[in-house]
């Protein structure tokens, strides 16, 4: 069951390290490290350089790293995504940029499954 909670890393905040979250995390600042949780939103103007494992990811800013989404990754018109992407569904709006190795698979389990044992970077 998904949590209804949400958290914001606001504009002007820089965070480095490992972060586990429930519900929705909205990043407006700069984050690097490892992120694990349910729903991630990289807002316009935000920069995220991380290995990410989440059910759903929306990118309106800049995202770099290894990304594993149990369900969907959506890159909006203002978004840029580079690195390695593993997901079930990928949507790129007109103007969105993808520079990544992409694996879309319809049959893998959500976080904690064997697919997540595939190295996200490298």
Spatial separation of the C-alpha atoms in residues 21 and 97, rounded to whole Å: 26
How many domains are contained in the chain?
1
Q: Would residue 1 count as lying in a domain? A: no
Q: Which stretch of 74-78, 89-93, 115-119 has the lowest confidence by average pLDDT?
A: 115-119
Q: Would residue 122 count as lying in a domain? A: no
Q: Could you list the residue range(s) of the whole structural domain that residue 108 is in?
A: 6-117
Is residue 29 pLDDT above 50, yes or no? yes
Total-model pTM: 0.85
**Position 4 confidence tier, pLDDT thresholds 50, 70, 90:** confident
């Amino acid at each position: 069951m998904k949590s209804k909670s949400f958290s914001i890393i606001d504009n002007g905040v820089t965070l480095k390290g490992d972060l586990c979250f429930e519900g929705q995390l909205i990043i407006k600042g700069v984050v690097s490290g490892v992120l694990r949780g349910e729903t991630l939103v990289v807002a316009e103007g935000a920069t995220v350089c991380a290995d990410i494992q989440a059910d759903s990811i929306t990118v309106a800013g800049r995202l770099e790293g290894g990304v594993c989404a149990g369900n969907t990754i959506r890159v909006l018109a203002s978004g840029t995504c580079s690195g390695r992407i593993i997901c079930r569904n990928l949507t790129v709006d007109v103007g969105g940029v993808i520079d990544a190795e992409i694996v879309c698979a319809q049959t893998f389990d959500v976080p904690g499954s064997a697919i997540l044992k595939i190295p996200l970077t490298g």
